Amino acid sequence: MAELLWSLQDSQLVARFQRCCGLFPASDEGPRESSAGPSEGETPALGVGHLPCANGKGGGGPPNGLRRDAAPQAYVQRYVVKNYFYYYLFRFSAALGQEVFYITFLPFTHWNIDPYLSRRLVIIWVLVMYVGQVTKDILKWPRPSSPPVVKLEKRVIAEFGMPSTHAMAATAISFTLLLSSMDRYQYPFVWGLVMAVLFSTLVCLSRLYTGMHTVLDVLGGLLITALLIGLTYPTWTFLDRLDSASPLFPVCVLVVPFFLCYNYPVSDYYSPTRADTTTILAAGAGVTVGFWINHFFQLVSKPTDSLPVIQNIPSLTTGMLVLGLTKFAVGILLILVVRQLVQNLSLQVLYSWFKVVTRNKEARQRLEIEVPYKFVTYTSVGICATTFVPMLHRFLGLP
Per-residue pLDDT tens over the stretch 296-341: 766 654 444 444 555 456 667 788 888 888 998 999 999 999 999 9
Q: Could you confirm whether 50 is annotated as catalytic?
A: no
Q: Of 174, 378, 184, 203, which Cα lies nearest the Cα of 278? A: 378
Of residues 75 and 108, more confidence is placed in 108
User: How many CB atoms are closer than 10 A to CB 56?
Assistant: 13
Band (pLDDT 50/70/90 cuts) for residue 358 is low
Of residues 381 and 249, more confidence is placed in 381
> Does position 51 have pLDDT exceeding 70, yes or no?
no
Burial of residue 363, with CB atoms counted within 10 A of its CB: 0-12 exposed, 13-18 middle, 19 or more buried: middle
Taking residues 7-13, what's their average pLDDT? 82
Q: Express as a percent the part of the chain with pLDDT over 70.
A: 78
With vertex at residue 299, the alpha carbon angle to CA 297 and CA 302, rounded to the nearest 5 degrees, is 95
Q: Could you confirm whether 213 is annotated as catalytic?
A: yes
Whether 190 contacts 130, CB under 8 Å: no
Band (pLDDT 50/70/90 cuts) for residue 156 is low
pLDDT at 282: 92
DSSP assignment letter at 386: I
Of residues 30 and 263, more confidence is placed in 263
Range from 56-65, 159-168, 355-364 carrying the lowest mean pLDDT: 56-65
pLDDT at 345: 93
Most confident of 117-121, 145-149, 215-219: 215-219
Whether 147 contacts 57, CB under 8 Å: yes
Q: How far is Cα 296 from Cα 367, in angstroms, rounded to an integer?
A: 34
Of residues 4 and 52, more confidence is placed in 4
> Does position 342 have pLDDT exceeding 60, yes or no?
yes
What distance lies between CA 136 and its chain's CA centroid? 14
User: How many CB atoms are closer than 10 A to CB 297?
Assistant: 9
Q: How far is Cα 263 from Cα 300, in angstroms, rounded to an integer?
A: 36
Taking residues 33-51, what's their average pLDDT? 38
DSSP assignment letter at 301: P
Q: How far is Cα 32 from Cα 334, in angstroms, rounded to an integer?
A: 41
With vertex at residue 224, the alpha carbon angle to CA 173 and CA 154, rounded to the nearest 5 degrees, is 70
Q: How far is Cα 222 from Cα 185, in angstroms, rounded to an integer?
A: 26
pLDDT at 245: 61
Taking residues 225-253, what's their average pLDDT? 82
Range from 62-71, 176-185, 195-204, 255-264 carrying the lowest mean pLDDT: 62-71
Q: What is the mean pLDDT of the chain?
A: 78
Q: How far is Cα 208 from Cα 15, in angstroms, rounded to an integer?
A: 8
φ, ψ at 78 (rounded to 5°): -105, 150
Range from 7-16, 22-31, 87-96, 378-387 carrying the lowest mean pLDDT: 22-31
> Does position 166 have pLDDT exceeding 70, yes or no?
yes
> Does position 252 have pLDDT exceeding 80, yes or no?
yes
> Does position 70 have pLDDT exceeding 50, yes or no?
no
Q: 190: helix, coil or strand?
A: helix
Q: How far is Cα 186 from Cα 308, in angstroms, rounded to an integer?
A: 10
Of residues 223 and 251, more confidence is placed in 223
Q: How far is Cα 251 from Cα 289, in angstroms, rounded to an integer?
A: 9
- For residue 28, give the H/E element and its range: none
DSSP assignment letter at 315: P
Q: How far is Cα 135 from Cα 321, in angstroms, rounded to an integer?
A: 40
Q: How far is Cα 24 from Cα 17, in angstroms, rounded to an integer?
A: 10
Contacts of 74 by beta carbon, 8 Å cutoff, 6+ apart: 35, 52, 53, 154
Residue-wise DSSP of 88-134? HHHHHHHHHTSHHHHHHHHHHHHHHT-HHHHHHHHHHHHHHHHHHHH
For residue 52, CA distances in Å to 29, 33, 87, 144, 276 come to 14, 10, 18, 15, 21
Taking residues 176-205, what's their average pLDDT? 89
> Does position 50 have pLDDT exceeding 60, yes or no?
no
Whether 94 contacts 206, CB under 8 Å: yes
pLDDT digits (tens, 9 = 90+) for 83-140: 889 999 988 988 887 777 777 788 888 888 888 888 888 889 999 999 998 998 888 8
Entry pTM: 0.78
Taking residues 362-376, what's their average pLDDT? 85
> Does position 160 have pLDDT exceeding 60, yes or no?
yes
> Does position 391 have pLDDT exceeding 60, yes or no?
yes
Q: How far is Cα 187 from Cα 313, in angstroms, rounded to an integer?
A: 7
Q: How far is Cα 102 from Cα 25, in angstroms, rounded to an integer?
A: 32
Which residue is catalytic, options 50, 110, 213, 393?
A: 213
Taking residues 150-158, what's their average pLDDT? 74
